[in-house]
Each structure stands twice: as structure tokens, then as C-alpha cells.
């Protein structure tokens, strides 16, 4: 998930080259120092950092592997994260 001009967008469906506007990623939600933003904390608690593990495991970060229906670990986690 990311914000484009303040609107929530599922990043899995946005090509970076076509994104236009002010883009805010999860890293941009909180100040550089201080506590995590509630969304950042929810991702930590729900293992939302799984993409790093995919890359360390040698996963191919292109193609069907990271699209909906592929082995992306965030599939199904959205509702759990948004409940927090």
C-alpha cells in the first residue's frame, strides 16, 4: 500500500513509471525519529516485511510471482493489518 496525493493505492497494481503525484510509502508515514506510525507498527506485528525475506530467499521479484495469485506473502494480510 502507498499513498498517491493522499489517496490509498494498492502498490501491487501501480507501475512506478506511471505513478503521478505525491507518493508516500510506509517509510514516509512517521518522523525520522520517534515512535512508529500505527500502520508501520501493524506491519511489524503482522510480518508485513515479508518481501525482504522473499528476496533473501532468492525469489524472482518480477513476473507472476509477486502479482495477486502468486506467492506474495501480503495476500490476505490486508484485512488483518487494517483492523489494527
Tens-place pLDDT, residues 17-71 = 888 899 988 888 888 888 988 888 887 777 666 666 666 666 565 544 444 544 4
Domain range spanning residue 54?
2-82
61: which 3 cell numbers? 521479484
Considering the entire predicted model, what is its pTM?
A: 0.51
Grid cell for residue 21: 503525484
How confident is the model at residue 83, as a pLDDT?
46
Question: Into how many domains does the chain fold?
Answer: 1
| Strand partners for 24 | 3
C-alpha cell at 30: 512517521
Amino acid at each position: 500500500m502507498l499513498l498517491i496525493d493522499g489517496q490509498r493505492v494498492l502498490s501491487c497494481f501501480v507501475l512506478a513509471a506511471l505513478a503521478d503525484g505525491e507518493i508516500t510509502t510506509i517509510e514516509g508515514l512517521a518522523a525520522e525519529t520517534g515512535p512508529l506510525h500505527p500502520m508501520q507498527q501493524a506491519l511489524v506485528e503482522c510480518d508485513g516485511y515479508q518481501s525482504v525475506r522473499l528476496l533473501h530467499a532468492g525469489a524472482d521479484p518480477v513476473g507472476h510471482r509477486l502479482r495477486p495469485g502468486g506467492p506474495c506473502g501480503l495476500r490476505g494480510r490486508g484485512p488483518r493489518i487494517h483492523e489494527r
